[in-house]
Each structure stands twice: as structure tokens, then as C-alpha cells.
Copies of this chain bind each other. A is one copy, B any other.
Amino acid sequence: MTAVAKRSNNRNEALLDAASSLFASGGYGGTSMRNIAKASGMLPGSIYYHYPSKADLLYAVYARGVDMICERHDRMVAACNDAWKRLEIALANHILTVTETSDDVGVMNRVLPDQVPERSTDLIAQRDRYEQRIRELVDALPLAPSGGPAHDRRILRLMIIGATSWTQTWYRSGHTRPEAIAAQFCAFLKQPLQIQQSIQQ
């Protein structure tokens, strides 16, 4: 790659980086093209050479974020064979991304697809690319038989994703580390919280 091509690439990446950082901290509606332009050293109109609309720019950033969390997920999870441990690693990875607000992944957590109606279907598809991985991990868990009505794995999966996604609303760096949070989440599920003799509810 020549120096020139590199430079031209860099401009687009600078744009994505700036957009990323702003969308992650300010949300979609709270971030203006003006601000993105200023942060990436462009004029507002210049952005439109690269992306035809604000929604498309957001989508590019979002997709990059999904790419990144998926890659990290795949790499980290591959290193382990135990089903519960794999899940724990995956949750730790997810929670870790929540704190990185300057990163593309933060955008995925901050921006809800229906805030960008023009691309909401595409955003959901991207998000599903990642959630599918969590679903596979949950489906692979060897579950003990339920004492009462059968376990609904779908609800379990949504419970885990919900609890994990919600960390973004309360997580503050300096407190419990992402890995510890993930470990606790799994511990709550694996072991019985209810005192045994009162198991017949």
C-alpha cells in the first residue's frame, strides 16, 4: 500500500473514529454531523463524500463495532472447552466493551436500532450476528433438570443478554471488574441460591 493510499484510507478511518467516539458517548440523536466533522477535521459537507447520510455513517460504525466484538468473542471463547466457562468468558468480553465508550462497540450498546429508522433492520441484523453467538453458548449449556416446570432456554438466554447489556447503565470503572461481574452472573445461575431444604416452594 502506497503512502498516498494510506493517507486516503486514514481520512475515512479518522472519520469513523470520530463518529464512533461521539455516537458512543452522545447517542445518535445527541450527535450532530457538525460535531463529527469538527472532531475529524472536516467540513460537515465533506462527510457526505464518504457516507450518504447520517444513518449510513452510524451503520458503518455500528457494523465495525459488531465486527470487533465478534472477533474478540471468537478468539477468547475458542481458548476454552467448558460450556459454562465459555459463557462466562463471553459475558466478560461483552461487559468489557461497555466501558470502552470511545470504541465502536460502545455504539452498539448505546444506540438502539429503532432510533435510526432508515437502517433499523440492518442494525438489528448486525446485532443479531453477535447475539447469535451468545445464543449458541446458552444452548450448549448442559442444564440440570428443573425441579418444577421445564426450563425455557429462550428465557434463559434473554435473561443473560438482558442482565449483561444492562451493565452499561450502571457499570463504573474502578468498581467490580468485568470478569468478576461475569463470574458472579454465572455463579448465580450454576449453583442454587435457594436454601436446599425449602426447595419445594
The stretch of A10-18, A60-68, A147-155 in contact with B is: A147-155
Q: How far is the CB of A87 from chain B (nearest CB, A)?
A: 11
Q: Kindly state the separation between the CA atoms of A144 and B199 in the bound complex, as whole angstroms.
A: 11
B194, A84: Cβ atoms under 8 Å? yes
A190 to B198, CA, bound (A): 10
Partner-binding segment picked from A1-9, A70-78, A166-174: A166-174
Residue A165 at the B interface, CB < 8 A?
yes
- A154 proximity list for chain B (CB < 8 A): 176
* Contact residues, A101-157 vs B (CB, 8 A): 112, 115, 141-144, 146-149, 151-152, 154-156
Partner of A159, one of B141, B147, B185: B185
Residues of B within 8 A of A159 (CB): 163, 184-185, 188
Complex Cα–Cα for A158 and B166 (A):
8
Q: A79 near B: Cβ within 8 Å? A: no
Write 24 A-B pairs (CB below 8 A) sorted by A numbering. A27-B115, A28-B29, A84-B201, A85-B201, A146-B187, A148-B191, A149-B187, A151-B188, A151-B193, A152-B184, A154-B176, A158-B170, A159-B188, A160-B163, A162-B162, A162-B164, A162-B169, A163-B163, A163-B166, A166-B166, A189-B193, A190-B193, A190-B199, A191-B194
User: Given A159-B163, A189-B189, list of 13 further CB < 8 A pairs?
Assistant: A29-B29, A29-B115, A85-B201, A142-B195, A143-B193, A143-B195, A144-B191, A144-B195, A144-B196, A158-B166, A162-B167, A165-B166, A190-B192
Chain A residues near B (Cβ < 8 Å): 27-30, 82, 84-85, 112, 115, 141-144, 146-149, 151-152, 154-156, 158-167, 169-170, 176, 181, 183-185, 187-196, 199, 201
